[in-house]
Amino acid sequence: MSDFYNEALEFAKKHVAPYAKETDENAAFPVETFKEMGKAGYFKLIIPTELGGLGKGIVEHQEAVLAFAKYCPTAGLCYMMHNVALNCVLANATEETKKAICKDVVENEVFLALAYSEFGTGTHFYLPEVKAEYSAEGVVLNGVKSMVTSAELAAYYLVLAPAEKENAINNWIVPKDSVGLSFAMNQWKGIGMRGNVSCPMKMDNIKLPMSMRIGEDGSGMDQVFAQVAPMFIVGLASVYTGLVQAQLELATNYSMSRKYPDGRSLSNIETVQIHLARIYTMAQTSEFLTREAARSFNAGEADAVAKIIAARINASENAIEASRLAMRIGGGKTYNKATQIERLLRDSYAGQIMAPSVDVLIVWLGKAITGQPLV
């Protein structure tokens, strides 16, 4: 383990773990955790040092998300979204816009989020149906994004909208204080990842100058696959790897502490040992594949995209299976919410539907390993 990961893990024990339970119970964003993240400098993780950041990359992104998610998957997920959005800004925004946003992140400890998915297109978020009307002054955006993580809390939202160029898309930076921007907070009723507050975001005649467009007109799709997808998919693999690790720790500790009148514990039962062995194996494979995916992409290896997709599929599916087995070990007490295993079970199911969904990713992986375009 790297020193950076160990430091992030210690931070998570102090500032993520204490708020995990109430984040879930109240379906409330982990505000206190994010305040501490800002103070500790995690929001400026990937900002270049010349702009006041830490100058880190996808490997440290993966490690930080993994550390945070082990104690609260919601916190890991929302933090991951920030790095993904910021990475796209750093790679494609104008120098003036990039410097302004980085200055805000560094000095005011604000964070970013993604606003991609829509009700009509679902996980195919790269096919936006929102309306974009262009003029010499900029763009006017109208429409609704369906599930926007960190709703009302992020300072900037990265929005996909149709480009002037036919059959193409653009990324736009929409500041939280934009006139015409609103969130339907009462529509968030997620069964898991409840602190994400992933609710609809409405854009009613939001006017943006061209300086808030990321890159050239029509370059949004390239950005999605070059800057957004790698960090996003690695980030999700890290979130669900952290969840599997948490289930392993919880199930192991419960099996050893649950005693029978004769002094034996659950851990003495062969069936429980088998369940724990399987969860342990899933935790190991999830972490290995996720770390390898980040390393491979950082090294520019030819099969990095395939490794990233495989890591996400593996971690997402392992999270559900590990949670199912942990529930068996936890038994009635866990079913009655006496342990955190039940919370993580609910969190695990978000991995199946979060764009790109596991079904979409499996198809992408088949294309990637045979040299075909993903879409």
Domain ranges of the chain: 3-111, 114-218, 221-368
Fold assignment, 114-218 = Butyryl-CoA Dehydrogenase, subunit A; domain 2 (2.40.110)
CA distances from 301 to 88, 231, 232, 293 (A): 21, 15, 18, 10
Question: pLDDT tens-digit profile of 31-56?
Answer: 999 999 999 999 999 999 999 999 99
Point out the least confidently predicted range of 102-106, 328-332, 353-357, 369-373: 353-357
Question: What does the H/E/C string look like for the chain?
Answer: CCHHHHHHHHHHHHHCHHHHHHHHHCCCCCHHHHHHHHHHCHHHCCCCHHHCCCCCCHHHHHHHHHHHHHHCHHHHHHHHHHHHHHHHHHHHCCHHHHHHHHHHHHHHCCCEEEECCECCCECCCCCCCCEEEECCCEEEEEEEEEEECCCCCCCEEEEEEECCCCCCEEEEEEECCCCCEEECHHHCCCCCCHHHCCEEEEEEEEEEEHHHEECCCCCHHHHHHHHHHHHHHHHHHHHHHHHHHHHHHHHHHHHHHCECCCCCEHHHCHHHHHHHHHHHHHHHHHHHHHHHHHHHHHCCCCCHHHHHHHHHHHHHHHHHHHHHHHHHHHHHHHHCCCCCHHHHHHHHCHHHHCCCCHHHHHHHHHHHCCCCCCC
Strands 112-115 and 156-162: parallel
140 against 355, higher pLDDT: 140
CA distances from 60 to 46, 174, 191, 234, 236 (A): 9, 27, 30, 11, 14
Question: pLDDT tens-digit profile of 187-220?
Answer: 999 999 999 999 999 999 999 999 999 999 999 9
Point out the least confidently predicted range of 30-34, 65-69, 126-130, 322-326: 126-130
Question: pLDDT tens-digit profile of 116-155?
Answer: 999 987 777 878 999 999 999 999 999 999 999 999 999 9
Note the pLDDT of residue 207: 98
* Tokens encoding 22: 């109430």
- For domain 221-368, the question of CATH label 3.10.20.30 is answered with no
Rg, the chain, Cα only:
21
Note the pLDDT of residue 120: 85
Same fold, 3-111 and 114-218: no
Are the C-beta atoms of residues 29 and 153 closer than 8 Å to each other? yes
Over residues 334-363, the mean pLDDT reads: 93
- The gap from C-alpha 362 to its chain's centroid, in whole angstroms, comes to 19
Split at pLDDT 50, 70, 90, the class of 353 is confident
AA letter at 56: K
Note the pLDDT of residue 110: 98
Question: pLDDT tens-digit profile of 268-308?
Answer: 999 999 999 999 999 999 999 999 999 999 999 999 999 99
369 Cβ contact list (under 8 Å, min separation 6): 303, 306
Which CATH number is 3-111 given?
1.10.540.10
157 CB burial (10 A radius; 0-12, 13-18, 19+) = buried
CA angle 356, 63, 77 (to 5 degrees): 40
Are the C-beta atoms of residues 369 and 306 closer than 8 Å to each other? yes
Measured torsion, CA atoms of residues 204, 209, 211, 214, in degrees rounded to the nearest 10: 30
Question: pLDDT tens-digit profile of 233-266?
Answer: 999 999 999 999 999 999 999 999 999 999 999 9
Are the C-beta atoms of residues 115 and 127 closer than 8 Å to each other? no
Note the pLDDT of residue 122: 73
Mean pLDDT of the chain: 96
Judge whether residue 312 has pLDDT over 90: yes
Query: How many whole angstroms separate alpha carbon 175 and alpha carbon 208?
Result: 9
Split at pLDDT 50, 70, 90, the class of 61 is very high
Over residues 172-178, the mean pLDDT reads: 98
The pTM of the whole model exceeds 0.75: yes
* Tokens encoding 337: 């919410």
